[in-house]
Amino acid sequence: MVELADDVPNIIACDESDNFKLSAERLEKAITKKTKAFLFCSPSNPTGLFYSKEELTAIAAVLKRHPHVFVISDDIYNRLTFDGSSVAPHLLHVAPELKERVIIVNGGSKAYSMTGWRIGWAVGPQKIIASMADYQSQTTGSASSIAQHALQKAIPSCENDIKQVNQTLIQRKIKAMAALSTIKEFKVTEPQGAFYLWVNIKQCLGRKFESMTIENDKMFCDILLQKYFVATVPGIECGNSGYLRLSFAISTDKFIAAVERMKTFVAALS
Ligand SMILES: Cc1ncc(COP(=O)(O)O)c(C=O)c1O
């Protein structure tokens, strides 16, 4: 994972004499100015051993001396304990002040035996979680086993359904284009596939809504959402300002109701 992110992992060897656990001394020696994060797992895979409060306190002391180092705490096994406790000791139990640089990762795979459902989560400083969400939403998640079985069945047996879907979409497109043609400020590109309409709204920009000048498509879409409860995507999100993207993957009745609201909005522009 570290190499994929174009960085260099430093795997700290741990001895059997220490129960393969990382000592505070070894951690201290391994940290340099370039260290970005310390990846930590307790209880551990593969030993199943966890760190005591005393061991965690010593590790926390090292981390406090190196404020540039983030901690990625892999807590996936921490509810699976054999000593009667409900959770294994945790770095944040002994050093809650590290909270601003600890990112916890966990999931349903172990304690809930829900491995195939592919659900994990992360908890941490808002800024980091927001960046993770941006990255994740533009890369990929794993395919759940339930979804894979369903799709394996769907691919060979749904040809007629796809034809029917296309017929429905064609009808929706015709009705959606007709409804939008009643808003003269909009210029709509007729689509050849998918279920989107790309609408030029440049005639609406620079005009005023309740004393606010609509400067760009993002502002247009924000007002449409906040005041008229219609969700659209600003063109700038697709790389072109001055446009908006509509989806007609909804019933024609709903689409036409949304067009009526857009019409009211555009009519209110001065
Ligand atoms: C240390 C560790 N972290 C996290 C996971 C979580 O795996 P998953 O990808 O199923 O969420 C595993 C599973 O083997 C693991 O051993």
What topology does CATH give the domain 16-138?
Aspartate Aminotransferase; domain 2 (3.40.640)
Atom of ligand 1 nearest to the CA of 109: 10
As given in the structure block, the two tokens for residue 97 are 């002040």
Q: Is 181 in the pocket of ligand 1 (CB under 6 A)?
A: no
Tell me, what's the pLDDT at 38?
A: 98
Q: Is 104 in the pocket of ligand 1 (CB under 6 A)?
A: no
76 pLDDT more than 90: yes
| Least confident range of 109-118, 246-255, 261-270 | 109-118
Q: Is 115 in the pocket of ligand 1 (CB under 6 A)?
A: yes
Q: CATH 3.40.640.10 spans which residues of the chain?
A: 16-138
> pTM here?
0.71
Mean residue pLDDT across the chain: 93
What is the CATH architecture of 157-267?
Alpha-Beta Complex (3.90)
Question: Following DSSP, what letter does each residue of 148-212 receive, concatenated?
Answer: HHHHHHHHHH-HHHHHHHHHHHHHHHHHHHHHHTT-TT-EEEPPSSTTEEEEE-GGGTT-EETTE
Residue 115 alpha carbon to ligand 1 centre in Å: 9
Contacts of 216 (CB under 8 A, 6+ apart): 205, 234, 236, 241, 242
Residue 76 alpha carbon to ligand 1 centre in Å: 6
**pLDDT tens digits for 186-197?**
999 898 988 999
Q: Is 119 in the pocket of ligand 1 (CB under 6 A)?
A: no
CA–CA distances in Å: residue 258 to residues 68, 72, 128, 142, 179 = 50, 45, 36, 34, 10
| Atom 1, ligand 1: residue with shortest CA distance | 45
DSSP state of 117: G
**pLDDT tens digits for 88-124?**
999 999 999 999 999 999 998 898 888 888 888 999 9
Atom of ligand 1 nearest to the CA of 74: 3
Residue 122 alpha carbon to ligand 1 centre in Å: 13
45 pLDDT more than 90: no
What is the number of other CB atoms lying within 10 angstroms of the CB of residue 12?
Answer: 12
CA–CA distances in Å: residue 86 to residues 78, 81, 90, 169, 200 = 8, 7, 12, 53, 58
Q: CATH 3.90.1150.10 spans which residues of the chain?
A: 157-267
Question: Between the ranges 78-92, 107-121, 127-141, 215-229, where is the mean pLDDT highest?
Answer: 215-229
